């Protein structure tokens, strides 16, 4: 339960405002529409919208005070009074807000594990939480598929929420006796200061490949944003995938780096590495060695990228002091993550695999993993999101054509863009565009594939994974690849 503190105490690190000692702050809110009587409204200058425009609306809703970002006419430390409500202006509020929120929403005695990288964040955070539960600890997650304990995840709007949401959620999880929380930490969240006040018992880097260039501009800037988890935060253990070129470079620069590799290691002094990996349809077996000694890890996941995810999760837990033999003994009970290489099958029909792969690198790895298990033809059904990096569209289509046998192009989340233009961009990446099937409706795309695929074929339905919505120009509608697969295969949900 949040305890109210005085406004001058809340802001004492940044401004001296003893005149506001009588204002009690018990709830911070960035969305003016959610302000209620007694709520303190936070008005940030956002990347799209200036939250200060909504100060009058928040006051009308009952805000008891406003903390606003200083800029131009309102200098740092200025206190305006609007309809008897104080408005305090703070310079660079977006960078201070994480620390301000941490004063109101503390989470004592709970350790944080931050996971960053292009692909694998959701799987690794959930593997860590699953594993902790299996060995008797209490762990929660925050990220793409939701926030909370795995048995009761609450939907999240973004991979990494705003600074207030993050602190509020962490405080709530601590009250529910979570001993650890594993967070997906996005590049946006890092560069925008949403996690600025957080300290991490361990930080994990998965990999870096093309994504979010519509925001960061260059791969170098994208990498710099990810690197902030290890350089701009207290991060006691840095668990780094050195099979990734960026990770290998970072591991040589970070003094607390623990290198993780799927290959025998001779380059890094502090490392956990695989000596042998066996892949089967029933799962993965990894013989490893290194800093924590040797062992064999067996888990019911498939694909080389999941071997990397398992090794990173295992190394993180070992670095936090969890017992190796107990972890290995429980690994067979780990489960694939919702919408990540999730298999749907019924007798006499092709297998359908739903996966969140929405970057070129992720799509390539998923198709390569499925090829090993495919006795017939490998189908790839995919689309690309609108209002996002258009440069990856031909790349995605080319990967599907090169690594799959049949390609079906469909809509992802077109958002405000014309789906026909997105499709045109994807078709430009194909050597033989006439051989690709174009079907904008995702349900009909999967239906076509199942009607035309043989029973020994595998159909990859890529891009949306766990999502149960589709964002169109006309608005958001309910749609789920998982539900489509179950319906068309006659499986109960």
* pLDDT tens string 125-179: 999 999 999 999 999 999 988 999 998 888 876 666 789 999 999 999 999 999 9
- How far from the centroid of its chain's Cα atoms is residue 300's Cα? 22
Strands 295-299 and 342-344: unpaired
Q: Which residues pair with 80 in a beta bridge?
A: 87
Domain range 105-333, CATH architecture: 3-Layer(aba) Sandwich (3.40)
* Residues 296, 290: Cα–Cα separation, whole Å: 12
401, 431 Cβ separation under 8 angstroms = yes
Q: Give 5-102's CATH code, choosing from 3.30.360.10, 3.90.1200.10, 3.40.50.10860, 3.40.1390.10.
A: 3.40.1390.10
* Whether pLDDT at 43 is above 50: yes
* Whether pLDDT at 1 is above 60: no
DSSP strand E in 72-216: where?
79-82, 85-90, 111-116, 139-143, 146-148, 180-184, 200-205
- Which tokens sit at 445? 């795309």
Output the pLDDT for position 48: 82
Strands 475-478 and 469-472: antiparallel
Output the pLDDT for position 492: 75
Annotated binding site for meso-2,6-diaminopimelate: 388, 412-415, 463, 467
- Which tokens sit at 166? 């993050």
Output the pLDDT for position 216: 47
Output the pLDDT for position 455: 96
* Whether pLDDT at 266 is above 80: no
Output the pLDDT for position 2: 63
Output the pLDDT for position 493: 63
What residues contact residue 249 under an 8 Å CB cut-off, 6+ apart?
none
Q: What burial letters (b/e) apply to 65-101, b meaning 16+ CB within 10 Å?
A: bbbbbbeeebeeeeeeeeeebbbbbbeebbbbbbbbb
- Across the range 271-299, mean pLDDT stands at 94
Output the pLDDT for position 211: 58
* Residues 382, 456: Cα–Cα separation, whole Å: 20
* Residues 257, 251: Cα–Cα separation, whole Å: 5
Strands 378-382 and 257-261: unpaired
* pLDDT tens string 310-346: 999 999 999 999 999 999 999 999 998 888 888 899 9
**Residue 451 burial (CB count, 10 A):** 10
What mean pLDDT value characterizes the chain?
Answer: 93
- Which tokens sit at 181? 């929380």
- How far from the centroid of its chain's Cα atoms is residue 42's Cα? 25
CA count, 13 A, side-chain hemisphere, 105: 22
Which part of the chain has CATH 3.40.1190.10?
105-333
393, 384 Cβ separation under 8 angstroms = yes
Q: Which of 190-199, 242-251, 417-426, 428-437 has the lowest mean pLDDT?
A: 190-199
Domain range 342-489, CATH architecture: Alpha-Beta Complex (3.90)
| Element spanning 227, H or E | helix 219-231
**Sign (positive or negative) of CA dihedral 338, 112, 140, 40:** negative
- Across the range 431-435, mean pLDDT stands at 97
- Across the range 390-411, mean pLDDT stands at 97
Q: What burial letters (b/e) apply to 124-150, b meaning 16+ CB within 10 Å?
A: bbbbbbbbbbbeeebbbbbbbbbbbbb
Highest mean pLDDT among 69-83, 93-107, 334-348, 437-451: 437-451
Annotated binding site for ATP: 117-123
The CA distances from residue 71 to 90, 100, 227, in Å, are 9, 19, 29
* pLDDT tens string 90-120: 999 999 999 999 999 999 889 999 999 988 8
Output the pLDDT for position 233: 85
- Does the model's pTM come out above 0.95? no
Which part of the chain has CATH 3.40.1390.10?
5-102
Which part of the chain has CATH 3.90.190.20?
342-489
Annotated binding site: 30, 32, 117-123, 158-160, 186, 192, 194, 388, 412-415, 463, 467
Output the pLDDT for position 210: 56
* pLDDT tens string 189-221: 888 888 989 999 999 999 987 555 555 457 778
């Amino acid at each position: 339960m949040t305890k109210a503190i005085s406004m001058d105490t809340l802001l004492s690190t940044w401004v001296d405002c003893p005149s506001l000692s009588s204002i009690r702050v018990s709830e911070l809110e960035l969305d003016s529409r959610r302000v209620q009587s007694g709520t303190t409204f936070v008005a940030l200058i956002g990347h799209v919208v200036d939250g200060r425009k909504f100060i009058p609306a928040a006051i009308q809703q009952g805000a008891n005070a406003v903390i606003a970002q200083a800029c131009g006419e309102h200098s740092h430390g200025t206190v305006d009074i609007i309809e008897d409500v104080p408005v305090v202006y703070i310079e660079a509020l977006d960078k201070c807000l994480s620390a301000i929120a941490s004063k109101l929403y503390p989470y004592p005695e709970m350790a944080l594990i931050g996971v960053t990288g292009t692909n694998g964040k959701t799987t690794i955070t959930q593997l860590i939480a699953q594993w902790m539960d299996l060995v008797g600890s209490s762990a929660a997650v925050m990220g793409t598929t939701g926030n909370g304990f795995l048995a009761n995840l609450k939907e999240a709007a973004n991979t990494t929420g705003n600074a207030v949401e993050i602190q509020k959620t962490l405080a709530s999880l601590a009250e529910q006796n979570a001993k650890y929380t594993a967070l997906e930490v996005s590049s946006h969240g890092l560069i925008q200061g949403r996690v600025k006040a957080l300290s991490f018992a361990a930080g994990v880097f998965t990999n870096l490949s093309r994504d979010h260039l519509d925001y960061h501009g260059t791969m170098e800037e994208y990498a710099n944003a990810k690197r902030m988890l290890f350089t701009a935060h207290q991060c006691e253990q840095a668990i780094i995938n050195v099979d990734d070129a960026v990770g290998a470079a970072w591991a040589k620069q970070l003094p607390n780096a623990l290198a993780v590799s799927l290959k025998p290691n001779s380059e890094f002094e502090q490392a956990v590495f695989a000596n042998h990996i066996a892949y089967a349809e029933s799962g993965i077996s990894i013989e490893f060695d290194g800093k924590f000694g040797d062992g064999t890890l067996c888990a019911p996941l498939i694909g080389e990228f999941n071997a990397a995810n398992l090794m990173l999760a295992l190394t993180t837990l070992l670095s936090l002091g969890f017992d190796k033999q107990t972890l290995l003994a429980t690994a067979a009970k780990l489960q694939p993550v919702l919408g990540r290489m999730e298999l749907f099958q019924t007798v006499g029909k092709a297998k359908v695999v739903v996966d969140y792969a929405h970057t070129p690198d992720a799509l390539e790895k998923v198709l390569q993993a499925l090829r090993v298990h495919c006795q017939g033809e490998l189908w790839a059904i995919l689309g690309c999101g609108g209002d996002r990096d258009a440069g990856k569209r031909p790349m995605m289509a080319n990967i599907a054509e090169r690594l799959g046998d049949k390609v079906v192009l469909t809509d992802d989340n077109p958002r405000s863009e014309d789906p026909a233009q997105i499709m045109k961009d994807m078709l430009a990446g194909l050597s033989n565009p006439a051989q690709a099937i174009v079907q904008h409706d995702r349900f009909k795309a999967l239906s076509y594939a199942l009607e035309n695929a043989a029973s020994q074929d595998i159909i990859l339905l890529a891009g949306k994974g766990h999502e149960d919505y589709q964002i169109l120009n006309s608005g958001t509608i309910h749609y789920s690849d998982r539900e489509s697969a179950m319906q068309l295969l006659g499986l109960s949900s």
